[in-house]
Structure 1
């Protein structure tokens, strides 16, 4: 097998094979196999989706207006995004126009989800890679307070507050029932934060855990519940009557407004200062950028005007960057079936001609679970996958044949390249404060900051 060069990366799978299955702290089912050399440096990685979902099959023969209710069950963390996309697709197909108020409510719900997901990902799915919980027990609460107050005016920063938290954390650790903190690599040399920064971060971890339940109330007000709020083709599922009792009245609108204000406060006073403070200790993490330094794509979102999905109307940027060339941004045409195609060369599905990709409209979702000849193990007990054959339940989407990264970092790179002030200014400030070049965006550190 030896050396391979997918998407411009040199991969060598001749070393020791290590399997991580399942990969935790994500939504869904995932397995990763890596090859390490004699220095324990990863030289090859194979990522595979291990669960057959079959949402496309479930949707066959159903009323398109109900599709949103099934598609959003794909994920309970990014809850609502798939549903909104489904609703928009039906509206586009039937040329249905939505009211301006409906557009505003959809935007508020989507932005609330983005803030929620950023907080959950950073503090609860990702922070423990950088924060040593046990180290916080040796911190000086007074010094922790001074550190916290030096980077933010957040009120929960007194020595007594951190002392009390430290006492509760000590009892928690001594109980031996660590829950989400079990099996951590506490004390490992790769952790670089001083004890005081660890104590501050643990405090904010717990505060964010408590605060996230407040953010999702926006979904329950407009969508009836969370996760998986309700949506509606042609508008939104909530009636609005400022003087009513059972509808969205002034009391509920004021509650939404107060939650938005608190989101802004928590983001500016806790989340962003923590990002910069923790990032300052891990400035050497300028690798692990994946495709971000090569090819990225963003569809754009948050239309300022209802039914207008032009780049000028979208608050989030739109476009494609290929081969790391920030000076050239390709336009996206959703009506062009040759732009987005899905391939199943390495996926457990069957196409009439597997040398070609299919646009999702023409897509075929026919499961075909067959292991490659170099697979080690059996169908029910795989020891090592054959990456030259089919090895995943996830299809491979491509933009004009190119593998591209999407998500927050992709949006920031495209917005930065377009010179949009709301993306360029905070990026330049962060890079300046950390003393890092623009290329630092294309890294684990850059992805975390996005």
Structure 2
């Protein structure tokens, strides 16, 4: 008889996600992914000026902020068939890339590494041996004996003080934890170092975006960054040079720490290359436009069916009909009601809440269920890496090959591309994506500087709203995957607005055909060593980097005020 395990919430900081699994014979037999709060931003936007939508939608989440601002202005620009000045594209790209690098570093070290790293085991480590191991793997300057001894003493201080501080509440000593003490100590040191390194990426976002987490610089038609060489109040050469220094620091950490650590975890947990496969239809959208109309991109995108890279179909431009016609959302197993039966295209999408309690075979989530041409699809770094490999993207091929070679060397066995279709493969794909994007940060910095040197300082084209109805879609390959905003504008006001976000694609409930979404499918056959400590479920779900606040939002129908914050 199956044993039901409910984990609620499963995410550490990013929204309320409930996951239920039926376990029989020590393995997961069926899973349910349930978003536990409602996102009502679409209703807030109705009747508003489309130029304001970006500022509102980026409040969907305190983490995925920049991505919604960018995607929203792209949706309105697509509806108006606008061109965006080249400088604005480059500045947006720099913000996008810095945000993504920040997000991916934080995800691995601070949101998921402790699913694999036993902090208490690090106390048993020989710091000098940990340093020797680190120095044998890369040239990172903080792998020294002095640094490992310092971290070891700091960790002992936590424990001797009677608590683990930021490392509290982990499943320490769990039988699924396998890293040797020295590897655990090295990982703890890098966890702490990453706290400092990620600030460099945030500085780039802050300088170009005006602030972070909620940027202030984007506008329908471009960005609000005036460019000049002789004024400290605008984007100057001096500030651009500061950006380059932070980019170089990020490059060092990502190439010499992050990539190496992910490869090491993969080598010590080879069984996890066969766990968490789930849905193998992959969707990614192109991004980092290199022209004013969004037809040339640094990052290609497209769709792969059943894990076969030869089936790749590219998405070629902003507003590509192939993408626009393919997306639908079902609410059969969601707490919504709609007049029409069956899935709806986002332009016709409805957001009418209808809560009925959790029902295994009925409605059980505030998330809708997206499909691409009727098929469930996984989005995120793994989809991004595989579609770019299928498109022949050389930088992706370079880092994917390097990572698999490192894993193979450490594991002392050949590890191929098939291993990427797994829980640990999603982590590897995120690191590969991050390394590639650090390079692109430097490339886009150079492109912006060179374009300014030509005398081009334009950053904005004013939008003009026609009478009647227009509609548009904006998409962005966000850190967690394909994000799209769909807007219908009537006489200059928003008539309909729908956000189809990465965690909706991945964390969705069953669709109109009762097919499981990526989270649910990936958990089937996952081994569970201890039902009281379902670490294995956390590992797979965290490998997707769930950010449920983007897929849902909060409302309180009884008390009106959902939360009150008082400064004291």
Query: TM-score, structure 2 length as denominator?
Result: 0.71
Residues 263, 404 of structure 2: 8 Å contact kept: no
- Single out whichever of 246-255 and 396-405 deviates more from structure 2: 246-255
Asked if residue 323 in structure 1 is aligned to residue 306 in structure 2, the reply is: yes
Residues 341, 398 of structure 1: 8 Å contact kept: yes
Structure 2 unaligned spans of 5+:
409-413, 430-568
1:403 maps to 376
The one of 340, 345, 349 equivalent to 1:363 is 349
Residues 346, 387 of structure 1: 8 Å contact kept: no
2:254 maps to 267
Alignment of 1:90-105 (within 5 A): 90-105=76-91
Deviation string for 1:37-61 (max 9, x for gaps)?
A: 1x33111110011101201001111
Distance 1:397 1:242 in 2: 47
Distance 1:295 1:369 in 2: 30
Residues 297, 319 of structure 1: 8 Å contact kept: yes
1:76 maps to 62
Give me the CA root mean square deviation: 1.6
Alignment of 1:228-239 (within 5 A): 228-230=214-216, 231-239=218-226
Asked if residue 161 in structure 1 is aligned to residue 140 in structure 2, the reply is: no
1:151 maps to 137
- Single out whichever of 246-255 and 55-64 deviates more from structure 2: 246-255
Shift of 1:154: 1.0
Shift of 1:101: 0.7
Distance 1:438 1:215 in 2: 30
Shift of 1:26: 4.9
1:436 maps to 415
Distance 2:212 2:228 in 1: 22
- Single out whichever of 18-27 and 388-397 deviates more from structure 2: 18-27
1:280 maps to 267
Deviation string for 1:211-251 (max 9, x for gaps)?
A: 21221111111111111112211111222222212111222
Shift of 1:430: 2.5
Alignment of 1:53-72 (within 5 A): 53-72=39-58
Distance 1:400 1:260 in 2: 39
Residues 291, 404 of structure 1: 8 Å contact kept: no
1:223 maps to 209
Distance 1:115 1:353 in 2: 41
The one of 356, 359, 367 equivalent to 1:394 is 367
Shift of 1:119: 0.4
Deviation string for 1:397-442 (max 9, x for gaps)?
A: 1111111011110011111222322222322332233221221010
What number of residue pairs does the alignment pair up? 418
Residues 273, 419 of structure 2: 8 Å contact kept: yes
Shift of 1:149: 0.5
Shift of 1:331: 3.7
Shift of 1:291: 4.0
Structure 1 residues 291, 318: CA separation in 2 closer, same or farther (over 3 Å shift)?
A: farther
Deviation string for 1:16-44 (max 9, x for gaps)?
A: 1111111122521111111101x331111
Deviation string for 1:136-178 (max 9, x for gaps)?
A: 1111111111011001111112212211111111111222232
1:374 maps to none
- Single out whichever of 49-58 and 233-242 deviates more from structure 2: 233-242
Pick 1 or 2: higher relative contact order, CA cutoff 8 A, min separation 6: 2
Distance 2:402 2:243 in 1: 31
- Single out whichever of 68-77 and 429-438 deviates more from structure 2: 429-438
Residues 222, 237 of structure 1: 8 Å contact kept: no
2:125 maps to 139
Distance 2:229 2:246 in 1: 18
1:253 maps to 240
Distance 2:325 2:238 in 1: 49
Deviation string for 1:102-158 (max 9, x for gaps)?
A: 100101110111111110010000100111111111111111110110011111122
- Single out whichever of 420-429 and 439-448 deviates more from structure 2: 420-429
* Structure 2 SS opposite 1:120: helix
Structure 1 unaligned spans of 5+:
1-13, 372-384
Shift of 1:290: 4.0
